Amino acid sequence: MSPLHQEHASHDTHTHGPGCGHTEVPHGDHVDYAHDGHLHREHAGHWDECEAGGHTTHEGHDHHHGEGCGHQRVQHGNHVDYLHDGHRHAQHDGHWDDH
């Protein structure tokens, strides 16, 4: 199984969807759901961990996210991402990453 296709094998009792109680995160051609510090997406009849591959710096991001910035926060592993213009941004080494 490639790093970009990590099946979330224990995700069999909860069905994500509108109104399920988890944050919906638009991501390209699908919707991820924030759940227990992970992002899940439905794929071919199962749920995958949906993680960005590699390191992508969000160039020209002059807005500083934080408490009260107006963007939704999503816990993502050991940090917080901010939903902004259809992307997730995370602060990293003095810049913002595009997840």
The alpha helices in the chain, defined as continuous H runs, are none
Domain containing 21 equals 1-51
3-state secondary structure of 32: strand
Clarify whether residues 63 and 46 are in a common domain: no
Clarify whether residues 81 and 63 are in a common domain: yes
The total number of structural domains in the chain stands at 2
- Each of the 99 residues of the chain gets a pLDDT tens digit; together they read 334 556 555 655 677 888 888 888 877 788 888 877 777 888 787 777 776 666 677 777 777 888 888 888 887 778 888 887 767 787 878 877 776
> Of 51, 69, 87, which residue sits at a domain end?
51
> What's this model's pTM, rounded to 2 decimal places?
0.59
Ranges assigned E (strand) in the chain? 6-7, 24-27, 30-35, 38-43, 46-49, 73-76, 79-84, 87-92, 95-98
Clarify whether residues 61 and 39 are in a common domain: no
Residues contacting residue 15 through CB under 8 Å, at least 6 positions apart:
none
> Residues in the chain, how many?
99
**Within the chain, how many helices (H) and strands (E) appear?**
0, 9
